């Protein structure tokens, strides 16, 4: 797909917190509609900062982000964000936590409309029986599902996920990865997701952005950036259990691990 028609276009993005030492600079990438893109890189390279800029929660020092041909300015309900630690309102039930977002998105909807919509998405993440519980009565995995249901319920044009499964145990993580993949495929959702889990990226992503850390060299400071974009060659109909058996899996995995071990902190280019 030509870049001009890309759904999301990130152009020459840079962000500095300290003068002369931008965390990253010259970041360019695109997302096609319905594409699932993961970004992987060591801690501190600026993944969350990029996601915050895409969410409109932070402003880049340089560069532009266009969605559907229009430059982004501030947060908007056409983008749904899921953070690493579920940001639920503790005094509200699952139903009310999600209804709150749905009512902001569609202020004209009747109570019955809102409630039916909320139920659909709560059931989608398998929490129908817990709809009237409060966050304190839910496990970490269940809370994370509520966060995902809430993000999907506002039917965003783009979903932004910052290590959404990072805090979960392996078993729960696997189940939710499978659920997320099924929902994303079904709804043809466009997703930008940060992960530090190579297998998670290989399972979920159509393309994987490899990001390097800013670092000092003999010639001076080099900001972080996207060192490489890896297309996932595995068939899209893949499962967690079958991943290891697919031809090309180990090659892809080794390539990413090699990047993280040998190139990510040294510029990678
Ligand atoms: N609000 C901020 N003020 C100052 N420095 C920040 C701020 N946010 C992030 N940073 C710095 O920017 C760098 C990248 O952070 P972050 O985007 O959170 O990295 P990642 O998500 O890849 O681990 C880190 O060095 C971090 O300390
Ligand atoms: Mg982060």
Cα 29 to ligand 2 centre (Å): 19
Strands 220-222 and 215-217: antiparallel
Q: Is the CB of 48 under 6 A from ligand 1?
A: yes
Residue 194, pLDDT score:
97
* Ligand 1 atom 18, closest CA: 48
Cα 42 to ligand 2 centre (Å): 9
List domains and CATH numbers for the chain.
Answer: 1-72+207-269 (3.40.50)
Q: Which residues pair with 71 in a beta bridge?
A: 66
Instruction: Check residue 34 and give left, alpha or beta (phi > 0: left; psi -120 to 50: alpha).
Output: left
- Ligand 1 atom nearest residue 50's Cα: 17
* Ligand 1 atom 25, closest CA: 44
Cα 15 to ligand 1 centre (Å): 10
Q: Which residue among 46, 162, 209 is best mutated to probe the pocket of ligand 1, counting the most ligand atoms within 8 A of its Cβ?
A: 46
Residue 268, pLDDT score:
54
Residue 2, pLDDT score:
46
> Which ligand has its closest atom nearest to the C-alpha of 164?
2
Q: Is the CB of 45 under 6 A from ligand 1?
A: yes
Residue 140, pLDDT score:
86
One digit per residue, the tens of pLDDT, for the chain of length 269 reads 445 568 999 999 999 999 889 999 999 999 999 999 999 999 999 999 999 999 999 999 999 999 998 999 888 888 888 877 768 999 999 999 999 999 999 999 999 999 999 999 999 888 999 999 999 999 988 898 899 889 889 889 899 999 988 877 787 788 888 878 888 888 889 999 999 999 999 999 999 999 999 999 999 999 999 999 999 999 988 888 899 999 999 999 999 999 999 988 875 55
Cα 86 to ligand 2 centre (Å): 14
Q: Is the CB of 264 under 6 A from ligand 1?
A: no
Q: Which residues, by Cβ under 5 Å, contact ligand 2, an ion?
A: 48
Cα 116 to ligand 2 centre (Å): 34
- Ligand 1 atom nearest residue 15's Cα: 12
Q: 245 is written with which tokens?
A: 């058996």
- Ligand 1 atom nearest residue 58's Cα: 1
Q: Which residue among 44, 45, 85 is best mutated to probe the pocket of ligand 1, counting the most ligand atoms within 8 A of its Cβ?
A: 44
Q: Is the CB of 23 under 6 A from ligand 1?
A: yes
Q: Is the CB of 46 under 6 A from ligand 1?
A: yes
């Amino acid at each position: 797909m030509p870049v001009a028609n890309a759904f999301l276009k990130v152009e020459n993005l840079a962000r500095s917190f300290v003068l002369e030492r931008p965390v990253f600079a010259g970041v360019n990438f695109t997302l096609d509609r319905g594409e699932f893109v993961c970004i992987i890189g060591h801690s501190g390279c600026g993944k969350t900062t990029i996601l915050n800029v895409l969410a409109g929660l932070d402003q880049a020092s340089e560069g532009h982000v266009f969605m559907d041909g229009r430059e982004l300015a501030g947060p908007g309900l056409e983008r749904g964000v899921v953070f690493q630690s579920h940001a639920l309102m503790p005094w509200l039930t699952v139903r009310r936590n999600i209804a709150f977002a749905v009512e902001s998105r569609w202020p004209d909807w009747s109570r019955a409309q809102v409630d039916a919509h909320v139920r659909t998405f709560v059931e989608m993440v398998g929490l129908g029986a817990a709809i009237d519980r409060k966050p304190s009565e839910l496990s970490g995995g269940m809370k994370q599902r509520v966060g995902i249901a809430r993000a999907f319920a506002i039917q965003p044009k783009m979903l932004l996920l910052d290590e959404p499964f990072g805090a979960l145990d392996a078993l729960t993580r696997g189940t939710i990865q499978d659920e997320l993949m099924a929902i994303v495929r079904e709804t043809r959702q466009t997703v930008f997701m940060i992960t530090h889990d190579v297998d998670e990226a290989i399972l979920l992503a159509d393309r994987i952005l490899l990001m390097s850390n800013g670092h000092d060299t003999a010639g001076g400071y080099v900001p972080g950036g996207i060192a490489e974009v890896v297309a996932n060659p595995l068939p899209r109909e893949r499962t967690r259990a079958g991943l290891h058996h697919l031809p090309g899996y180990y090659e892809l995995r080794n390539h990413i691990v090699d990047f993280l071990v040998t190139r990510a902190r040294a510029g990678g280019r």
